[in-house]
C-alpha cells in the first residue's frame, strides 16, 4: 500500500506541474485553446481529486479495496481524456516551437535588414566622402593657391623694395 500511495502522490505532483506549465504559457494561447484548457483542467482536477481521495483512504487504512478502486477510476477518467490531452500538449508545444521559429526568423530578417542598411549606408558614406574629398581637395588647392599667391606677393614686395 505504501508503494501505491507513493505512486499516487507522484502522479499528483506531476499533475500540478503540468497545470503550472500550461498556466505559464496561458497568455500565449488562443481563446479557443484557453477554453479547451479550462475544460481539460476541470477533468484533470477531477482525476486529481480521485487520487487525493485514494491517498486519504490509504492513510486512514479503512478499506483496502477502495483506494485501489479510486486509482482505477482515476485511470479510467484519464483514458477518456488522454487523446485530447496529448493533442492539446502537442498543439501548445507546436505553437511554442512556431513562436521560437518565428522569433528566429525575425532575428535573421533583422540581421539581414541591418546588413542591407549598412551596405546602403556604406555606399552613401563612400559617395559623401568622394564628394567631400573633391570639395576638400578643391578647398586645399584654393588654400594652396592663396598661400602661394600671398607668398608671391610678399616676394614681389621685397623684390620691389630692393630694386
CB atoms within 10 A of CB 12: 16
User: Bigger pLDDT: 120 or 160?
Assistant: 120
One-character DSSP codes across 80-121? HHHHHHHHHHHHHHHHHHHHHHHHHHHHHHHHHHHHHHHHHH
Query: What residues contact 25, with CB distance under 8 A and at least 6 apart?
Result: 92, 96
Cα(102)–Cα(88) distance, integer angstroms: 21
The angle at the Cα of 59, spanning 58 to 64, to the nearest 5 degrees, equals 30
Within 10 angstroms of residue 67's Cβ, the number of other Cβ atoms is 24
- DSSP, collapsed to helix, strand or coil, labels residue 63 as coil
pTM for this prediction: 0.53
Query: Is the pLDDT confidence value at 159 over 80?
Result: no
CA dist 2 and 7 (Å) reads 9
What's the full length of the chain, in residues?
163
What distance in Å separates the CA atoms of residue 150 and residue 19, rounded to the nearest whole number?
89
Q: pLDDT higher for 136 or 114? A: 114
Task: List the Cα angle 89/38/41 in 5-degree steps.
Answer: 65
pLDDT single digits (tens) 13-56? 888 888 887 788 778 777 877 888 888 888 888 888 888 887 78
Band (63; pLDDT cuts 50, 70, 90): low
Tell me, what's the pLDDT at 157? 65
Reference 55, options 15, 4, 17, 16; nearest CA is 4
User: How wide is the angle at C-alpha 96 spanned by C-alphas 107 and 35, nearest 5°?
Assistant: 135
Taking only the tens place, the pLDDT of each residue in 90-100 is 777 777 677 66
Residue 59 has pLDDT above 70, yes or no: yes
Amino acid at each position: 500500500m505504501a508503494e501505491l500511495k507513493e505512486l499516487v502522490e507522484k502522479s499528483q505532483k506531476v499533475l500540478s506541474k503540468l497545470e503550472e506549465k500550461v498556466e505559464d504559457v496561458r497568455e500565449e494561447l488562443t481563446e479557443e485553446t484557453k477554453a479547451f484548457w479550462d475544460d481539460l483542467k476541470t477533468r484533470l482536477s477531477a482525476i486529481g481529486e480521485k487520487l487525493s481521495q485514494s491517498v486519504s483512504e490509504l492513510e486512514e487504512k479503512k478499506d483496502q479495496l477502495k483506494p485501489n478502486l479510486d486509482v482505477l477510476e482515476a485511470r479510467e477518467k484519464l483514458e477518456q481524456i488522454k487523446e485530447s490531452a496529448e493533442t492539446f500538449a502537442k498543439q501548445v508545444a507546436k505553437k511554442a516551437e512556431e513562436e521560437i521559429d518565428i522569433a528566429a526568423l525575425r532575428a535573421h530578417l533583422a540581421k539581414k535588414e541591418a546588413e542591407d542598411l549598412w551596405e546602403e549606408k556604406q555606399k552613401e558614406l563612400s559617395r559623401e566622402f568622394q564628394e567631400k574629398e573633391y570639395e576638400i581637395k578643391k578647398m586645399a588647392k584654393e588654400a594652396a593657391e592663396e598661400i602661394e599667391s600671398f607668398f608671391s606677393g610678399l616676394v614681389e614686395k621685397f623684390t620691389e623694395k630692393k630694386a
